Copies of this chain bind each other. A is one copy, B any other.
Amino acid sequence: MKILSENKAFGGRQLVASHPSPSCQGEMTFGLFLPKEAEAGRVPVLWYLSGLTCTHENAMVKAGAQGWAAREGIALVFPDTSPRGSGVADDPAFDLGQGAGFYVDATCAPWAPHFKMWSYLTMDLPALVFEAFALDRDRQAITGHSMGGHGALTLALTHPERFRSVSAFAPICNPTQSDWGRKQFTAYLGANEADWALHDASILLRERGLDLPLLIDQGSADKFIDLLMPGAIEAAIAASHTRGTYRLQPGYDHSYFFVSTFMEDHVAFHARALKA
């Protein structure tokens, strides 16, 4: 691992580091905020998964999460959204390829060699950060924005034993039925839609339910709302009798202004679960 930068922030440390990822077969970059409590022992950790076009950096500088995390003594991990580099496949569209990994393990050419974000987030990056930093593996929570909200929900629904709570900001809720999903799943996973269902939060929630605290915020003025399909997750929460909170926030859009507005609530929500 290489530490690329370090800035003192809110009494703790904001790091950017890179490391070789076996799953993605290349160097991956992530951000990590460590509250000052990490100097004295292992601290709870909140994973933040970002949306389309983002790197590890966007939320790290724009979501306003560190101040609230510092107040609660919680660490934050900001992974990248895909493998990157000249040897990695890409596509001219902003919603496919680099910056758009969709949190799946690609099985189809040309994506399969590097696009393994599911394995990266379930194996490589946890293995690294719990080894290298004072993070408590038994107190993890996860959140994300847009494509990252999709990632947070599907990871929590597939590995509920790993997380104490899950939330999302304007997540892609039903990608098997959306142009934010069908295109990417076809490219990364192939034409068999049965493979897609394992990465659709609304389907997973209907099938499995979720015994974790769940919070979703969605802006009513989000211009991508038809692609996000929040109605599907609302219906799945109801159908599965999940104890989840879905909030339609009037007038808010899809931007980091929306995310930062409700970040205080989300960090407090996770802190209750992580520190219970």
Contact = CB atoms under 8 A, between A and B. Distances in A.
Interface of A is mostly: mixed
A7 B66 contact: no
A119 interface: no
A7 B7 CA distance: 29
A221 B11 CA distance: 13
A7 B61 contact: no
Copies in the complex: 2
Q: Contact size class for A? A: 20 to 34
Contacts of A224: none
Nearest to A250: B8
Interface of A: 7-11, 14, 61-62, 64, 66-67, 219, 221, 251-253, 255-258, 260-261, 264
Given A8-B261, A9-B258, A61-B61, 17 more contacts: A7-B253, A7-B257, A7-B258, A8-B219, A8-B251, A8-B252, A8-B253, A8-B257, A9-B257, A9-B261, A10-B260, A61-B256, A62-B62, A64-B64, A64-B260, A67-B260, A67-B261
